[in-house]
Amino acid sequence: MQLAILWKQVDLDRYRDEELVALARQGGENAIRALIKRNNQRLFRIARAVTRDDAEAEDVVQEAYVRAFTRLDSFKGKALFSTWLTKIALNEAITRIRKRRPSAELDELDAAANGGQVVMFPTSLTPPGADAELGRGQVRALLEQAIDELPAAFRIVFILRDVEEMSVDETAAQLALKPETVKTRLFRARKLMRAAIEKRLSSGFAELFPFNGWRCERMADRVVERLRGEA
């Protein structure tokens, strides 16, 4: 694919997808970069939901982009470009794990794709402190592990609906499912997520609100001091 920098002074972030696709068809490298930046998060999350491996998910996303941008002539505009691109990434992810996943899970993934959405955190202008970053990382790891343990068909619906915040109709169209099926799978996914998170957290309940060590000793000192004052 012959690439060239087109309209370097134009802010392509303000362009609609179809405008960027038109430029990408002309080999516009900056348009391609803009489309990649715009779709990276969604594609990675979807690929990660299927592969459950960060490195492989990145490979899937890269391959999906290559396939898409070398076959732009096959994009007819009947669906959103992001929808078309997501479908390519989803199919690529399923193909890649076919040799290393149990057949039962592959059947679930195929059903999700053919009808047979790491978690968002608030951002701040001020960089968070080390403790905040550590806590955020721990929460993210907990959620990611719980998502990884969801059955494949539920996991992809959960990613599209609750992580990517796609509508029921958008998710149904993406996965070739009925809206009612999407709602049912999301309900079950959320229920399984709650159970998994509660199970992991319950073991730490005994450690909540610790009042031992120097805090306990200081309280004893204060009580003794008060008692002496009463004498």
CA torsion angle 30 32 33 34 (round to 10): 90
Instruction: Quote the pTM value.
Output: 0.64
Q: What is the pLDDT of residue 109?
A: 53
Q: What is the pLDDT of residue 115?
A: 44
Q: What is the pLDDT of residue 131?
A: 56
Q: Which among 71, 116, 55, 114 has a CA at the least distance from the CA of 90?
A: 114
Mean pLDDT of the chain: 78
Domains of the chain (ranges plus CATH)?
A: 1-100 (1.10.1740.10), 114-206 (1.10.10.10)
Q: Which among 175, 208, 185 has a CA at the least distance from the CA of 79?
A: 175
pLDDT tens string 126-141: 444 555 555 677 878 8
Length of the chain, please? 231
pLDDT tens string 68-126: 998 998 998 888 999 999 999 999 998 888 767 655 454 555 554 444 333 333 333 34
Q: What is the pLDDT of residue 122?
A: 36
Q: What is the pLDDT of residue 176?
A: 86
Task: State the average pLDDT over residues 188-209.
Answer: 79
pLDDT tens string 9-31: 467 778 899 999 998 898 888 88
More confident residue, 156 or 107: 156
Q: What is the pLDDT of residue 105?
A: 52
Segment (H or E) for 136: helix 130-148
Task: State the average pLDDT over residues 183-192.
Answer: 94
Neighbours of 15 (CB within 10 A): 18
